[in-house]
Amino acid sequence: MAKKTHVSATPATQWLKAQKVEFTEHPYDYVEHGGAQHSAATLGVDPFAVVKTLIMQDESARPLAVLMHGNRKVSTKSLARQIGVKSVQPCLPEVANRHSGYLVGGTSPFGLKRSMPVWVERSVLALPCIWINGGRRGFLVSLSPLVLTEKLGARPVDCALAE
């Protein structure tokens, strides 16, 4: 099978270009339920540097995005406490798709359909480079983690659990 070298524009890549963000495209063969571990293994990068975008909601069903290391889970109790809500839980896939405008497995924090707060695990920001979804299943972009706070407005939290 020929290796993919370019993916057509997505809302995420259009957003990145509009913000004048430097990024590199990394297409790979998507596997259902493979997650960040699969993409990291396929691309030969540390799963800690692959950042997953999780669409969650608070007790009032208000959506929020959480950016977490590919090999970590989110402590929803810790997250809720830090962001000042009673509870946080993952959205059902169809609800996440509706809020984000992306299919689960291809969710990017860039170019979200609906405006929502974005929270990022603090230790992600210390990495020299991150790999994050580019808005389509089987497609990551690599870029500086500073884009998350400086351009996207993501706010740091400490809510990682070992996976």
Domains belonging to the chain, first-starting first, are 11-162 (3.90.960.10)
163, pLDDT greater than 70 = no
pLDDT tens, position by position, 16-64 = 999 999 999 999 999 998 999 999 999 999 999 999 999 999 999 999 9
Task: Report the mean per-residue pLDDT for the chain.
Answer: 94
pLDDT in the model for residue 8: 81
Q: Give pLDDT, residue 9.
A: 93
- Residue 4 confidence (pLDDT) above 60: no
Going from the C-alpha of 100 to that of each of 14, 46, 157, the distances in angstroms are 15, 26, 21
Q: What is the pLDDT of residue 1?
A: 39
Give the separation between CA 46 and CA 12, rounded to whole angstroms: 23
Q: What is the pLDDT of residue 7?
A: 67
Structure tokens at 60: 């009032």
Q: Is the pLDDT of residue 70 over 70?
A: yes
Token pair of 105, please? 């497995």
Percent of the chain surpassing pLDDT 70: 95
Q: Are strands 118-121 and 155-157 parallel, antiparallel or unpaired?
A: parallel
Q: Residue 162's pLDDT is what?
A: 75
pTM of the full structure: 0.94
| Per-residue pLDDT tens over the stretch 143-159 | 999 999 999 999 999 99
